[in-house]
Structure 1
Amino acid sequence: MDKHRFVIYQLLPRLFGNSNNINVSNGNIDQNGCGKFSDVSKEALTSIAGLGATHVWYTGVIEHATCSDFSKYGIASDSPDVVKGQAGSPYAIKDYYDVAPDLAVEVNNRMAEFENLIARTHAADLKVIIDFVPNHVARNYTSDAAPKGIEPFGKKDNKKVSFAKDNNYYYLPGTTFKSPLQITNIKPWKESPARATGNDCFSPAPSVNDWYETVKLNYGMDYQGGTHADFEPEPDTWRKMLDIVLYWSQKGVDGFRCDMAGMVPVEFWRWMIGEVRAKFPEKLFIAEIYEAERYEDYIFKAGFDFLYDKVVLYDTLRNVMEGKAPASELTDCWQKTDGLHHFLLYFLENHDEQRLSSDFFMANGHKAIPGMVVAATMFNNPLLIYFGQELGERGMDEEGFSGRDGRTTIFDYWSIDLIQKWRSNGDWTGTELPKAAADLRSFYQKLLTIIHQKPAFYKGRFYDLMWVNRHEFFCHDKIYAFMRYEGGHCFLILANFSDKQQSFKLKIPLDAMDTCGMKNELFYNGIDLLGFNRPLQFPAAVASNGGLGGRLEPYTASIYELKGHVLD
């Protein structure tokens, strides 16, 4: 299949490859097992590519703090006082120059095993994305794998002052750090003076809701001194971070999902991305950012390729899917980011958000079909699929630190039943999947095939039909309608967010017909490429006046490929 849209498939190797089918809440690695780099096999990658993915985002690759003890391999052990869960958070980085030892079959060979995964991924015609976590590190950051000449974080810091431009950390002189979870007396964490916590908490006693297991990095911003900035010449942390990104780039990593990029100055990103692209012009940078008013800065000033769009598209679409907002609000949604759509990464699931099939969201992945179709077909931008989303994974296990919160844990050792069934004894054909999961995956594959193969969805234009359909015969609270077009080929997309069948009369104004290349004198047929709803047949003149009639089944969406012809 030729692929023209970026489709990123996110997975945690720790969970993805775990074949252990006995899970104990708060279980350690010996009890619950752990997936390995090698479990992301050629067959698994072929299946992911066959779904329609173009990139794989491997989450939790870089070594992070953990309760598992790898000290016999020369790796410093961590205090449970500053580790979340038995496995630890993938975002509490312990060594920027190493990979997580629990993901390796042979711990001493762990980097080679990851390099082999990169090679397998590329052989499957997929690109590799990993997390770059620049805002904070684990409290026990201890690099034992940094190349010769790389200076450790904090080595030359002046710990007697709260801020100095070339300090790597922020200090709280005269204080001692106190963890909100003192859970062990065997290896209590000691830190004096205390350092600021990763979520900009400048207290020696962060709360359990703070990122207490992490330490904030200093990019030349004095947050306690009126947010004074000193960027000339480049602060020491800038240069250290550039070395890290270049290190992974040289290993063949194709792109970086930059964690909490909005908490790091735009000036750093502009400098660092420019330096990297001078050597690796094709490197991809994706920013996690949650303030829509800063989108333009991170695109046009910082130089990111793509940004998360949670606070506009995701939040609005979720409200519509849950019946908390009318479908017509999606018009206001896309207008808020008009002109930026090409740069926005759309998603309905990732490791931070609740699963579509969880009891906290739609309770059933099939009910999310209209939302998924809208997210995939509105514009030409990238799309993110979170592993198991396409199977209807519910995220309703009580894994341990994560709790039963509708998310798949990133903190615990665990296995996922539907992923194991998809594995099907290692061939990843999904023959053991329940019918509902297999059907849902088939839908995702069909949808992604359409957006890759039909030019209207990877280089075409968008026309919103909601403005002309605010009448009594069209339920704009529950139905969203728009068109995509390119080179004379026209598609009508209708999404029914209701749990009931919806009858409608849809007007396609002459302006839309002229713009999309439809002709008022022709008769049009429309086949639903997704196969959920009946074909449409209508004279264009009727559509532009009274409106074409049809019905949409509950929780479905249709992509109608419109073909015009002269009536006999």
Structure 2
Amino acid sequence: MNSKIIIYQIFTRLYGNRNLTRMYNGSILENGCGKMNFFTLSVLKEIKKLGITHVWYTGVIRHATKTDYSGYGIPVNHKAVVKGNAGSPYAITDYYDIDPDLAENVGNRMEEFDALLKRTHKSGLKVIIDFVPNHVARQYHSIAKPAAVVDLGENDNVGEGFSPRNNFYYCPGCRFHPDFDLHDETGKEYMEEPAKATGNDCFGPNPGVNDWYETVKLNYGVDYYAGRIGYFNPVPDTWKKMLDILLFWAGKGVDAFRCDMAEMVPAAFWKWATGKVREAYPEILFIGEVYNPAEYRNYISSGFDYLYDKVGMYDTMRAVICGAASASAITGAWQATDDIESNMLYFLENHDEQRVASRFFAGDGLKAVPALVVNALMRRNPFMLYAGEEYGEKGMDVEGFSGCDGRTTIFDYWSIDTLCRAENGGLTEDERRLYDIHVKVLNIAHTEKAVGEGAFFDLMYVNGHSEVFNPDRQYAFLRKCDDSLLIVVANFDSSDVDIELTIPAHAFDCLALKGGLVMASDILNGSKRKLNLVKDGRIPMRILANGAAVWKIKLS
């Protein structure tokens, strides 16, 4: 059986932290930090109970931070080019090293990561880590690279703004001079001359405070100064260095890479690199953060297994949850990627997006239950859950560099309220209920053959506006594999509804269904009843407010 992939994104620094101080802009000593050793076999077993197949340990590679680890031989970062006290996990300072914040014994941080890999695999879960290919921290310097590896930028000709032999882009004759102060609290100024181009394609020396100023863009042989001309033959030096990094982590047993801002790196590199990695590790997976739907097929053909479906499915589902779009719009969202449906990654939260339960989104995690059911069960493609989402984490803290924006910080030392309370039995009734729903839905997604392998049939075109069905607030579809049929109906309305669902004759023909009286079990809610399957007939059912029904029928 081809089981559906269910990814659990864990912001590693925060997940295991049980320090409740939560001081604004606090240091690691004040607010604490989660560790890799927190993930014992028993913790991983609980994660797997959710229906999870893959764990994405976010932020495990060493990145820029204001915390001083010079006693362990780790270079100190200038605080003017670090966001937050903990720093962004997407400002990598050493691609071959592990974040010291995450280690119980900093000197043995790589050994602790290796042990985490082994425990995760022993628990039956696969491991995803970040690969950040577009940019690095401004003070990138590897102290852990293998002896034969030449550091990024080490042999660059800094007098050339662009050269396919360089790893970075430069502004010759210009000092790095953004529109904010570059001094730390001791008065020491950050100096960079010539200035390097900034990670979000800012090719001048004066990035703004809203730019990715803490990063520098990597050069994959594309001359942005001359209109994005690509120089890919011979293979650019950066390609070779980044391939070595991928092979290093794949060689440790990492199962997949979540590739940050993949579309900012030329597709030609991905085609070359993914092919090379798969020659040595055929089962490795590549998950791409790509936001331009016009580029989806280009990046899939370049070696990506899965791409974020953010601009289509996520944006549509968010609008439906909030009442800004009709549930029938979901049909258009999946149709836009129907030819590549198995390559799209669905999600309702991740570290970049606002928490569903925040006041900037739905204000209540339970309001997203119908969206969870639809996204997790409608197609064969993977679904991703962000740690805390299963409890309705609100993300409404003011942590420090990260303000009250409905997101869980990626820049500060902090602890996640619901995760802390879940461990000591302090969840509210609604939080426990939401967790139980996630366990049921995600395990249905992972174990039901009709979901992992089956055909999909959208029922919206025959269930239009009527007194018995509201396509603005209800969404319905079928899943079928062998003799197993699922009838899924989701209700985005805040009131219970009594509906009558039509299953068209075309569905009977397309899915080889036979009519008649059948016994059905609602595997989400636990009830049983007889259903009369008739071509173009109506099936009455009640769907709870912000709820769903998943009727399973054994046709044999």
Q: Tell me the TM-score normalised to structure 1 length.
A: 0.95
Q: State the distance in 1 between where 2:552 and 2:282 align.
A: 38
Matched, 1:305 2:305: yes
One of 528, 549, 556 as aligned partner of 1:558: 549
Task: Using the TM superposition, give the Cα deviation of residue 536 of structure 1 relative to its aligned residue in structure 2, in angstroms.
Answer: 5.6
Matched, 1:207 2:208: yes
2:227 alignment counterpart = 226
Q: State the distance in 2 between where 1:140 and 1:564 align.
A: 63
One-letter code aligned to 1:485:
K
1:104 alignment counterpart = 103
Matched, 1:372 2:367: no
Task: Using the TM superposition, give the Cα deviation of residue 3 of structure 1 relative to its aligned residue in structure 2, in angstroms.
Answer: 8.2
Aligned length: 553
User: What secondary structure sits across from 2:327 in the alignment?
Assistant: coil
Q: State the distance in 2 between where 1:373 and 1:116 align.
A: 35
1:52 alignment counterpart = 51
1:139 alignment counterpart = 138
Task: Using the TM superposition, give the Cα deviation of residue 564 of structure 1 relative to its aligned residue in structure 2, in angstroms.
Answer: 6.0
Matched, 1:548 2:539: yes
Equivalent positions of 1:143-292 (< 5 A) are 143-182=142-181, 184-186=184-186, 187-292=188-293
Task: Using the TM superposition, give the Cα deviation of residue 434 of structure 1 relative to its aligned residue in structure 2, in angstroms.
Answer: 2.9
1:7 alignment counterpart = 6
1:427 alignment counterpart = none
Render the CA deviation track for 1:479-533: whole Å, top value 9, x for unaligned: 111111111321111111111222322211111122233323x12343321118x
User: What secondary structure sits across from 2:225 in the alignment?
Assistant: coil
2:428 alignment counterpart = 434
Matched, 1:92 2:119: no
Task: Using the TM superposition, give the Cα deviation of residue 21 of structure 1 relative to its aligned residue in structure 2, in angstroms.
Answer: 1.0
Q: State the distance in 2 between where 1:466 and 1:127 align.
A: 36
Task: Using the TM superposition, give the Cα deviation of residue 35 of structure 1 relative to its aligned residue in structure 2, in angstroms.
Answer: 0.9
**Is contact 1:32–1:414 with CA below 8 Å preserved after alignment?**
yes
Task: Using the TM superposition, give the Cα deviation of residue 62 of structure 1 relative to its aligned residue in structure 2, in angstroms.
Answer: 0.3
Q: State the distance in 1 between where 2:189 and 2:8 align.
A: 38
Task: Using the TM superposition, give the Cα deviation of residue 432 of structure 1 relative to its aligned residue in structure 2, in angstroms.
Answer: 4.0
One of 500, 507, 523 as aligned partner of 1:512: 507
Aligned pair in 2 of structure 1 residues 526, 142: CA closer, same or farther (>3 Å)?
same
**Is contact 2:3–2:452 with CA below 8 Å preserved after alignment?**
yes
One-letter code aligned to 1:412:
D
Equivalent positions of 1:524-539 (< 5 A) are 524-531=518-525, 537-539=530-532
User: What secondary structure sits across from 1:166 in the alignment?
Assistant: coil
**Is contact 1:3–1:52 with CA below 8 Å preserved after alignment?**
no
5+ residue gaps, structure 1, are 425-430
One of 497, 501, 520 as aligned partner of 2:496: 501
Task: Using the TM superposition, give the Cα deviation of residue 535 of structure 1 relative to its aligned residue in structure 2, in angstroms.
Answer: 5.3
Q: State the distance in 2 between where 1:250 and 1:180 align.
A: 42
Q: Please give the root-mean-square deviation of Cα atoms over the aligned residues, in Å.
A: 1.6
User: What secondary structure sits across from 1:160 in the alignment?
Assistant: coil
Task: Using the TM superposition, give the Cα deviation of residue 17 of structure 1 relative to its aligned residue in structure 2, in angstroms.
Answer: 1.0
**Is contact 1:13–1:40 with CA below 8 Å preserved after alignment?**
no
**Is contact 1:354–1:407 with CA below 8 Å preserved after alignment?**
yes
One-letter code aligned to 1:293:
A
Q: Percent identity?
A: 49
Matched, 1:461 2:460: no
2:124 alignment counterpart = 125
**Is contact 2:25–2:412 with CA below 8 Å preserved after alignment?**
yes
Q: State the distance in 1 between where 2:30 and 2:446 align.
A: 42
Q: State the distance in 2 between where 1:284 and 1:181 align.
A: 40
Equivalent positions of 1:415-494 (< 5 A) are 415-424=415-424, 431-473=425-467, 474-494=469-489
Render the CA deviation track for 1:101-130: whole Å, top value 9, x for unaligned: 111111111111111111111111111110
Q: State the distance in 2 between where 1:364 and 1:180 align.
A: 39
**Is contact 2:2–2:453 with CA below 8 Å preserved after alignment?**
no
Equivalent positions of 1:350-429 (< 5 A) are 350-424=350-424
**Is contact 2:3–2:446 with CA below 8 Å preserved after alignment?**
yes
One-letter code aligned to 2:104:
V
Q: State the distance in 1 between where 2:316 and 2:458 align.
A: 16
Q: State the distance in 1 between where 2:554 and 2:97 align.
A: 55
Q: State the distance in 2 between where 1:536 and 1:517 align.
A: 22
Render the CA deviation track for 1:47-66: whole Å, top value 9, x for unaligned: 01111111110001000000
One-letter code aligned to 2:51:
G
User: What secondary structure sits across from 1:561 in the alignment?
Assistant: strand
**Is contact 2:327–2:471 with CA below 8 Å preserved after alignment?**
yes
Q: State the distance in 2 between where 1:304 and 1:414 align.
A: 33
One-letter code aligned to 1:464:
D
Q: State the distance in 1 between where 2:122 and 2:541 align.
A: 46
User: What secondary structure sits across from 1:360 in the alignment?
Assistant: coil
Render the CA deviation track for 1:353-385: whole Å, top value 9, x for unaligned: 111111111111111100000000110111111
Task: Using the TM superposition, give the Cα deviation of residue 563 of structure 1 relative to its aligned residue in structure 2, in angstroms.
Answer: 4.9
Q: State the distance in 1 between where 2:497 and 2:255 align.
A: 45
Q: State the distance in 2 between where 1:12 and 1:188 align.
A: 32
User: What secondary structure sits across from 1:384 in the alignment?
Assistant: strand
One-letter code aligned to 2:455:
R
User: What secondary structure sits across from 1:11 in the alignment?
Assistant: strand
User: What secondary structure sits across from 1:504 in the alignment?
Assistant: strand
**Is contact 1:344–1:381 with CA below 8 Å preserved after alignment?**
yes
Q: State the distance in 2 between where 1:226 and 1:385 align.
A: 39
Q: State the distance in 2 between where 1:466 and 1:259 align.
A: 35
Q: Please, which moves more after superposition, 183-192 or 55-64?
A: 183-192
One-letter code aligned to 1:455:
K
**Is contact 1:3–1:452 with CA below 8 Å preserved after alignment?**
no
Equivalent positions of 1:76-87 (< 5 A) are 76-87=75-86
Q: State the distance in 2 between where 1:213 and 1:423 align.
A: 35
Task: Using the TM superposition, give the Cα deviation of residue 334 of structure 1 relative to its aligned residue in structure 2, in angstroms.
Answer: 0.7
**Is contact 1:136–1:215 with CA below 8 Å preserved after alignment?**
yes
